[in-house]
Structure 1
């Protein structure tokens, strides 16, 4: 996986958390120290979930080696498609419902887990193509930390609409990465 692909994947995986952070920031407008603390929680969880998915994928890798590129393509396509579909859905009664109603540690962790499930599915797909998961997970964690910290702070200024557009762009990027993986493994890019 190229550095550019890792960067695009990292930013794509961060968009759900960014959208939740923008919504939360619009409702509560936290100061920078609080936004950084919340961003750290999101970044750590988002870095851990692809590692878990990767481990699960490695357990199954021997059984699916002949079709691993198709699985990676399908998983990235499904996650990307889901993100695109969600980006067009009308927000709940209160856009802040994506984020916890209270800023306590449990509410933040649950929201971070909820926005990182897609990263676990991507981790499964990445196990099939043999990427360095430590670099990918660290990149996802750092980009999530940065984007959510900023999202918490700018939420009041830009509103949740910008978060939905970022989520849509992230979904398109995931589908593109899955297509590139498939094309590379099928020899279409040679």
Structure 2
């Protein structure tokens, strides 16, 4: 009986962490979705986020005890920096014509930067979990599924909102990402 309740407690903890990490992908997905994103790009970005939400905590778990004291602040700064760069880029791009834009969030580089920025905090969580006995497969699958699903929801919500915002959607989406990046840093 004691093992069953301990296992259930561990499962609940993993699910709460998965949802918390997925909320990041959801809220930032709203910002990206406001640019007026196609369903195919929503699928691609969400799959990449799900993949990163599996790989990053898995890598973190393997790092575990060795770097846990150094990683917390560094991970938040890197995630914040990436979001500030991506958000600032989106705001600047909203004022440019389509011929003068540099990196598009739908490009492979843009999708990778976004996926990494919303998944880097799961690396820190993975480091913490690496110090404890936990079911790695269950943990990374829960993180990946939750991250990908919540990214889809955020991107779809942002897409719906963007229809009402018109040309200002990209600037607002970039401002949201910029704000989250600054919140990560400070």
TM-score grouping bracket, smaller chain normalisation: 0.5 to 0.7
Aligned to 1:106: 109
The size of the alignment, in residue pairs, is 141
What does 1:37-76 correspond to in 2, within 5 Å?
A: 37-57=44-64, 60=66
Could you tell me the TM-score, scaled by structure 1's length? Answer: 0.60
Do the aligned partners of residues 152 and 123 (structure 1) sit closer, same or farther apart at CA in structure 2, a change above 3 Å counting?
Answer: same
Provide closer, same or farther for how the CA distance between residues 157 and 106 of structure 1 changes in structure 2, counting only shifts above 3 A: same
Deviations, residues 101-132 of structure 1 (Å, cap 9, x unaligned): 33012210121111111111111110111111
Judged with a 3 Å threshold, the aligned counterparts in structure 2 of structure 1 residues 117 and 3 are, in CA distance, closer, same or farther, namely: same
Deviations 1:36-80 (A, max 9, x none): 22210110011100000100115x39xxxxxx9xx7xxx6xx79x
Q: 2:148 matched to 1:140?
A: no
CA distance in 1 between counterparts of 2:61 and 2:150 reads: 23
Provide the rounded CA distance (Å) in 1 between the counterparts of 2:88 and 2:19. 24
Kindly tell me: are residues 95 and 150 of structure 1, through their superposed partners in 2, closer, same or farther at Cα, counting changes over 3 Å?
farther
1:128 aligns with 131
Q: CA RMSD in A?
A: 3.4
CA–CA distance in 1 between the matches of 2:134 and 2:161?
A: 36
Alpha-carbon distance between aligned partners in 2 of 1:106 and 1:29, rounded to the nearest angstrom: 16
Unaligned stretches of 5+ residues in structure 2: 1-8, 78-86, 94-102, 163-172, 181-186
CA deviations 1:19-50 (Å, max 9, x no partner) are 2211111112322x331222101100111000
Where does residue 97 of structure 2 map in the other structure? Answer: none
Structure showing greater Rg: 2
Deviation string, structure 1 residues 113-172 (Cα, Å, up to 9, x no partner): 111111111111101111112211110000111111121111144576xx89xx9xxxxx
Q: Which moved more, 1:151-160 or 1:7-16?
A: 151-160
Supply the distance in 2 between the matched residues of 1:23 and 1:124 (Cα, whole angstroms). Answer: 28
Q: CA distance change for structure 1 residues 93 and 102 in 2, over 3 Å: closer, same or farther? A: closer
Aligned partners of 2:41 and 2:106 also within 8 Å: no
TM-score, normalised on structure 2? Answer: 0.61
Distance 1:146 1:41, change over 3 A: same
